[in-house]
């Protein structure tokens, strides 16, 4: 076997690929924070040390340029996604400083990568010409993503620079509701006819400057642009070049509608291991495609929204003004306060019972807490099942029965431990039995509500995750106190 030569020609440039690593962004963020802090400290010292304003301004100018060069060297060597991460991690004032030093060639990519709440502040800090230059380099579907945040005059000027076809695509993309396939599809794809040979297709692909991102297949259409099938690049490369496209194309494909939910599309990509999928209109005409990168973004956004919704929160800038944070967080906290007050009111109705058996005051929080935890486990599974479309009207009752059975079995085991604990600290077998019965009962209530609350909210067109945990906690706390103290009143007093 021939061994590769270790001698490299001098005129051959050796390119070392840059490794993408989340730690690079973290390290860059730390360096930037150090530079920004150092600049702030030096500015303050310069003001104190030099009474001569002119000398102070001169020193500040020199230091400012030095720090700017350091920041540019760090930021502009990063991937746009890493730049977006850094901007999201900086307070508003520092974010604007760093953003002004980002190379304009990265502006478009960074604006598309950052979260919505950061994008607004970045766009506000950009002048008209910079915004037009950044958005003018984007595709129609990418511009449509930014339209809600762009000033009207920028949108109008960008539209002037588009071709008729691009302008039509932009208008079409802007017309689809948020959270639909139409809002995330792109128009950059390869189409071929079914009556040509694979050799013709290969020659056509070679004339392109580059293939659209995430191209794993080309779409076969007729003269009216109706989708006839798909041709994978793998099949294209290994098949006889003299074969017709119609002979090797696949007619078994998944086509999405522009009005389909993006969550449903994400489920289809996960189920069928897709890299891209065509989007067709009501007449079967190919109008766009959805790619895996957009689907990953949808999955991530839905996951983040669910996590925030369970706590009654909406997405916010972690460095936003206090007033903005109050508007976001206060409503559900006030609701939670009201529900806690109701639970306390229920407990106060059993004041005589608690005063006779003081140990009950220490045990009733266990009953309420375990019921809430049990319900949250069930509710998390149901919300996930709703998100991927596994819950239907026909299997709701089956889900309720299953969760009640599982919870009862878990409750029996857990109640033995809780009863033993209650007997040890109280010395009363009766208190232990009441504790066991109340715990099982409240866990069953939590499981039933964990199924029904998200399903009912989804049935009435509301996000099943929003505030569900608050409602569940209210029910399990109030009913847990009522069951435990009620049984204690009946059997212990």
Distance separating alpha carbons of residues 418 and 415, to the nearest angstrom: 5
pLDDT at 5: 39
Q: pLDDT tens for residues 218-266?
A: 999 999 999 999 999 999 999 999 999 999 999 999 999 999 999 889 9
pTM: 0.69
Pairing verdict, β 217-221 and 191-192: parallel
Phi, psi at 230, each rounded to 5°: -130, 150
pLDDT for the residue 12 = 37
Distances from the Cα of 292 to the Cα of 110, 132, 192, 281, 354, angstroms: 19, 28, 22, 20, 59
Q: Residues with Cβ < 8 Å from 211, sequence gap 6 or more?
A: 190, 205
Asked whether the beta carbons of 411 and 439 are under 8 A apart, the reply is yes
Rounded CA-CA distance 144/155 in Å is 10
Q: How far apart are CA 454 and CA 106, in angstroms?
A: 42
For 58-85, the pLDDT digits (tens) are 444 555 677 788 888 888 989 999 999 9
The angle at the Cα of 86, spanning 84 to 88, to the nearest 5 degrees, equals 70
Q: Residue 168 — pLDDT band, cuts 50, 70, 90?
A: confident
Q: Are strands 276-280 and 286-291 parallel, antiparallel or unpaired?
A: antiparallel
**pLDDT of amino acid 406:** 93
pLDDT for position 9: 39
On average, the pLDDT of the chain sits at 84
pLDDT of residue 432: 93
42 pLDDT band (50/70/90 cuts)? low
Sign of the CA dihedral running 56, 58, 63, 65: positive
User: What domains are defined for the chain?
Assistant: 22-178 (1.25.60.10), 191-310 (3.10.580.10), 322-491 (1.10.357.20)
Greatest mean pLDDT among 10-24, 27-41, 124-138 lies in 124-138
Residue 313's pLDDT is what?
65
Q: Which SS3 state, helix, strand or coil, does residue 278 take?
A: strand
61 φ, ψ (degrees, to nearest 5): -65, -40
Task: Give 269's pLDDT tier (boundaries 50, 70, 90).
Answer: very high
Could you report the per-residue pLDDT of 407-427, keeping only the tens digit for each?
A: 999 999 999 999 999 999 999
């Amino acid at each position: 076997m021939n061994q590769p030569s270790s001698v490299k020609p001098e005129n051959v440039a050796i390119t070392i690929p840059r490794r993408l690593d989340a730690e690079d962004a973290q390290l860059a963020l730390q360096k930037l924070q150090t530079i920004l802090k150092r600049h702030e400290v030096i500015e303050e010292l310069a003001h104190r040390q030099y009474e001569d304003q002119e000398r102070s301004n001169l020193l500040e100018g020199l230091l400012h340029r030095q720090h700017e060069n350091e920041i540019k060297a760090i930021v502009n060597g990063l991937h746009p996604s890493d730049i977006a991460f850094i901007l999201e991690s900086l307070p508003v004032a520092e974010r604007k400083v760093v953003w002004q030093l980002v190379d304009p060639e990265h502006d478009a990519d960074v604006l598309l990568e950052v979260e919505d709440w950061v994008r607004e502040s970045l766009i506000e800090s950009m002048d008209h010409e910079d915004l037009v230059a950044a958005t003018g380099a984007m595709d129609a579907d990418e511009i449509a993503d930014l339209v809600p945040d762009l000033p009207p005059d920028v949108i109008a000027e960008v539209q002037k620079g588009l071709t008729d076809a691009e302008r039509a695509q932009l208008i079409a993309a802007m017309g689809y509701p948020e959270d639909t396939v139409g809002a995330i599809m792109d128009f950059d794809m390869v189409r071929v006819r079914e009556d040509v040979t694979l050799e013709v297709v290969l020659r056509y692909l070679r004339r392109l400057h580059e293939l659209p991102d995430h191209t794993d297949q080309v779409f076969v259409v007729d003269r009216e642009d109706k989708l006839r099938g798909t041709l994978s690049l793998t099949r294209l490369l290994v098949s006889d070049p003299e074969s017709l496209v119609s002979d090797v194309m696949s007619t078994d494909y998944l086509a999405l509608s522009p009005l389909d939910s993006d969550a449903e599309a994400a489920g289809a990509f996960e189920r069928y291991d897709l890299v891209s999928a065509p989007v067709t209109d009501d007449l079967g005409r190919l109008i766009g495609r959805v790619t895996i990168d957009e689907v990953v973004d949808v999955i991530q956004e839905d996951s983040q929204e669910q996590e925030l919704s369970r706590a009654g929160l909406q997405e916010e800038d972690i460095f936003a003004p206090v007033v903005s944070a109050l508007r976001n967080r206060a409503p559900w906290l006030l609701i939670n306060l009201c529900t806690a007050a109701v639970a306390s009111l229920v407990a106060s109705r059993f004041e005589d019972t608690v005063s006779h058996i003081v140990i009950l005051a220490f045990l009733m929080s266990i009953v309420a807490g375990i019921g809430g935890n049990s319900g949250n486990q069930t509710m998390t599974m149901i919300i996930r099942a709703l998100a991927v479309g596994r819950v239907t009207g026909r299997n709701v009752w089956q889900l309720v029965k299953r969760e009640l059975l599982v919870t009862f079995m878990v409750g029996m085991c857990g109640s033995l431990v809780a009863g033993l604990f209650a007997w040890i600290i109280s010395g009363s077998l009766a208190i232990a039995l009441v504790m066991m019965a109340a715990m099982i009962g409240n866990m069953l209530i939590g499981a039933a509500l964990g199924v029904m609350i998200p399903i009912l909210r989804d049935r009435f067109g509301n996000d099943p995750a929003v505030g569900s945990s608050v409602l569940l906690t209210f029910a399990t706390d109030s009913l847990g106190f009522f069951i435990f103290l009620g049984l204690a009143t009946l059997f212990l007093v």
